[in-house]
Structure 1
């Protein structure tokens, strides 16, 4: 008789009856000696809920009851739990609520998700009080000390309401980071005008997003104190310092997202941020770089970005005056995958010129790209090589290069976190010159030291410059530069040299410099001499104009011009089929019309309404306002050494002693007047600016002088 095969044993028992009854009895006795697994203790966990946040290891599945019980049903298998562990939503956070032990010394935990989608039992190892087996501890949220960039401002709730979206109301803790902890307030409408300070910051582990704890400035609003997504806040307005330009950063709906105060030491209220260039203002490149960096810092975590200032935006900023504000419109940021790092490559102005996402499958948000080696994050050779290839590709065919990452850049990349951005500065100037660019090196006329380098690029898509072609043309054996190139290069010189202590003589390109540039070839460089603007004694007088009916605090810097007529145009419409006789006739063209064409123009205008004529006249006068015909030198020459004080009385005495400076005139502008008989005549007028007062100044520095004009 044998007991090796169990199934044949039972068959034999049925077939042979009592002949094998002893054997069956012996097997039953053996099973009875092995105790079945069962629960000996089942308790509710009462410790701090923060210590009971868990995630899954993928080693065990989740069941309706401990898996050894016959009625247990699987809720989620190991693969599903592994995916939940990698979730980007805090709604998939889990908390352990009960613990059960068995007679075999094993431990099981009942867990449930914050979302309520999952609830069940899972094997938790063999030690009570520790999460092992299918579970491990999980930190749902990490608090950090807020930076000064955040604590220095006051904030309001950007979109007060009832929404439970993390951005509208406040919470006792960030959403889904503490189980059972909910809202601080359910309606923020009554707090729409309340101002708050940020006193804590932190990051949700799964989303990697920034949350802040806010405290009301007025204790009466303290009920709203709590956590809110940083994206849900807008900066509260505060007084603008006299030496600051406030830049409101708004979305496409005009809603204020953030603002920055851009300050400059020594700046005075009413002074423009940029430098005057006849009809427009130009922004210094250092100012561009500093403003771009401040905007980028201010927008962190808001979901908005402004990675590169356009030419129009720099023009708006340049015209803005200290003590007042301007605005820039933002765009929604492109989302960054949780397993990717966005690498942005910037130029000297801090503007992003190229960007790519460096992705590594399986990485977690918030995790560093590098790994800890000798106490700091280090970038692997494989990552270095792959990143360099991506950088080279991104900068291909551009005028920028980043062929070798510096030690600081490698460190920045190693510390970069998945789901976030990193910024690397490319090199220009010493790099390759584009085929359609001429590199202009502005050099000290005496020492020949390079002060600034800038690439003047041909941007004509229909007729791009070819490498080796000259920037100018030859006429009668001399090199000539086109007017638009003279204007463009002069503007580049002003913006690049502003603040360096150097400039073009008289802010103009000399005939020799224009000839030198005209002979320069695309794809190569050329040197242009510039002179120190700080040599010699005397102060530059900077005219500011304001309407005599307004206060001097409303003054604006005036723009010098050498043009006799205002640089403005208007599209005039004739009477035949309502087609325009002329397209945007400029003031200069109007002044030079022959008698026949002038008669056609005035005849067509005779049919215009008084309101239309008023509109045309207002446009031309508005264009002439705050422009003045350059009288020559606007320098106060004196025997004082640079750095000595100058009184306003001394400056005014100097102005009033020179007729050409005591009264300035605008360029001529046309006034179309309808006569009693219905005909129209053209009169030419100018705006008179009268020296009113001046600021105290310092010899060798710029000094503001004020002129008034009348309507």
Structure 2
């Protein structure tokens, strides 16, 4: 058809009304765009911490679901990818609403922790789990406390008001939970507070290490919270009145503290000497010597320092130490350990060294741990091949010495394996060994309270305490509450003295009501006093806690232990130290735990054997 013919036909059709306008020959019919509509829009009610999300980078954030009419971009896919890859926890996000469209698409309303971006993002086709442009996100990863963290005491390094993650404490590590902020805004009042660590972990985005700290002397202290580990400084722990602190120092630098141990003695009085003086010569008992040496060696495991024995001069130094104070004790530098080797020291029951062996591992790197931690267990383990190798070498090393790893033979116990596994190549560890000849077994009393059994420690009752617990439980009591010249740490025995003076008692009760005048707080204080007293039994010279001797490693029945206890009146029934209970007005009642023998375990000569007592509480009518 020619162009002239087409024009003629178009004019004819237009005249007949079949064509609306001359310019419509190339027109296309356009359908109006159809938009999705929301069929459900709800606030999310699941645990907020389970709604922490990150972005997958393929979807933008909109003012409303992206397929709705009028939806505008809040953040482009480029911006969203930057948020997803951010190394700043402020860019963590929380989902808090969920919507579904008539097309079956799910959208989540999200907000970044810093509030910079808030809007809707595609979340897949199901509300059962996050999908589409978002994924569930763990903002913080918990870790495992090192022995140093568990056993050390800390201060905040630079107390003040700075919100810099290392000056004040936080309810959660900063920016790891939405709108969860600081625990305190000024750490100045806590500049000298002795803090302990009970949790550790890292922020996922930054990878920096955070620790949870608390004040063990005040269960209600506001300072409890999270802080960067780098914001703390390690300090010497306050020395209890009934303890001495031994600072293990570098032999060439008396100010360089390698490790610290604390030796506690029930009933000891502050200012008295730890040891005895005979004709001008100070000394300590053999049992104290063995116990202290074992603690020193345990503390030095995993370091390049050691101590195989206590010299006469060192024992004299410890003997002269006074309770409530500390001393510096030089230890030895360990030398000639290969970078790929771990030195294993075998220690006898008296704390002295039997012999030493170096376990070398091909390819091991100095400073790396010999083993690894195990999920759900506090004990570390060695890889199967390493365990076999080190076990074989230990068996060879102990052959002919008259000693073995445990009463039942030359196999590493779980605790011994833990010590070796935690050791780092290029350093040394200590593990205990036992003789292969006749041995006695120590009977260890346990008390069962509310279904939980705990080991009891001996308490020496004398004229200075008359059976009242001497552990300092109520700490940092102001002088105005006690008429003392210094801040007071109070035991049950101290409370007794206060209760006998009406003026002091009135002042104490006034302070107590202000500090602990509600049922929750007073219950916590009562629990501290009860837990302290009920972890002890009053020692009697008639008690005999040794059984045997017998051939090392051979077994004995539970009835043998039960007969020894039931035949000894001082062991068959025992008492705890006396302790107070308070009401919210500070009124005091006195209580004592009664322990009655229940049953004993069987055991093997040379190993401890547990016995168990039932507990009842007895209110006392007089002081």
> How high is the TM-score relative to the length of structure 1?
0.35
The structure whose Rg is larger is 1
> How high is the TM-score relative to the length of structure 2?
0.39
